[in-house]
Amino acid sequence: MTDRTDITIVSIHGKTPRIHPSAFIAPGCRIIGDVEIGPDASIWYNCVVRADVNRIVIGARTNIQDGSIVHCDSPKPHRPEGYPTIIGEDVLIGHLAMVHGCVLEDRAFVGLGAIVMDGSYIENGGMLAAGAQLTGKRIGAGQLWMGRPAKFARDLDEAALAANRAGVDSYVRNGQAHARALRGEG
């Protein structure tokens, strides 16, 4: 774990973030409320993970890249459970993404600057392209969706899925290297 002098961790409404000791939380991050972060996950520089009105779960080896925001939606009379944000294992979330009140299954991919809105769902290995916006729709397993609003583009081939898996491994190693560097270990 990193030195927390430049990290804000806030308990609110009786809920305190639960962060696995092997997770990398970069300086500048804000982790608030009912958040659970799994083993070897990485939350990169200047991200906000705010679970003050519902819960957020971030699975093992998932990375949320620099400047991204993860939030959730509060309960409403027509939807008493609201929209928690549930992010599975081995998920890649690109820089400056907005992830809000949605479900990202294991090995999902959210591109740079993409927006995933309330009620959206990305199945295992599904991919939302950079700059795309998904509003209340479901991306199927192994599908690529693009555009604003996002629409189905094509099925991903095995090479694309393998590249995403390699990206996850790379981010786990890089997070460990950043943690060592921030501790002054080179």
CATH homologous superfamily of 4-182: Hexapeptide repeat proteins (2.160.10.10)
The structure's pTM equals 0.95
CA 153 to CA 150: how far, in whole Å? 9
Question: What is the pLDDT confidence band of residue 186, given thresholds at 50, 70 and 90?
Answer: confident
Is the predicted pLDDT of residue 157 greater than 70, yes or no? yes
| DSSP H stretches of helix in the chain | 158-182
Distances (CA, A) of 94 to 13, 18, 77, 167: 30, 23, 33, 11
Enumerate the domain spans of the chain. Answer: 4-182
Give CB contacts under 8 A, 24+ apart, made by 117-124: 118/73, 118/83, 119/83, 124/88
pLDDT digits (tens, 9 = 90+) for 38-96: 999 999 999 999 999 999 999 999 999 999 999 999 999 999 999 999 999 999 999 99
